[in-house]
Amino acid sequence: MTSDAAGVTTPQPAPASPHEPIRALLRAGKNDEAIVRLAAIVVTHDLAVARLLSHRVMVMKGGRVIETGLTDQVLDDPREPYTQLLVSSILPA
């Protein structure tokens, strides 16, 4: 919260980037002691972020779950054609 010249309290502006909360999780996740037990639902189109943050992943298409499982298994060996398309669209590093 900040105060302007008239003494009116206003909320802080939103983060400059909508990805800032994800960046904060990634920074915290680098230190194993920072997150001992965390349950979270992360909605992302960035499969690299999903791989870094998630033990399990769920792939949705048209509002329906089409594939779910351990993140490495789903992303390394996708069974559904849509998941295969998503994974193949990732540009190599």
Per-residue pLDDT of the chain (93 residues; tens, 9 = 90+): 444 455 555 455 555 566 676 667 666 655 555 555 667 788 888 888 888 888 899 999 999 999 999 999 999 999 999 999 999 987 565
Give SS3 for 6: coil
Listed by start position, the domains of the chain span: 17-88
Taking CA atoms, 73 is separated from 27, 37, 83, 88, in Å, by: 24, 22, 12, 15
What does pTM read for this prediction?
A: 0.60
Degrees, nearest 5: CA angle 49-52-57: 80
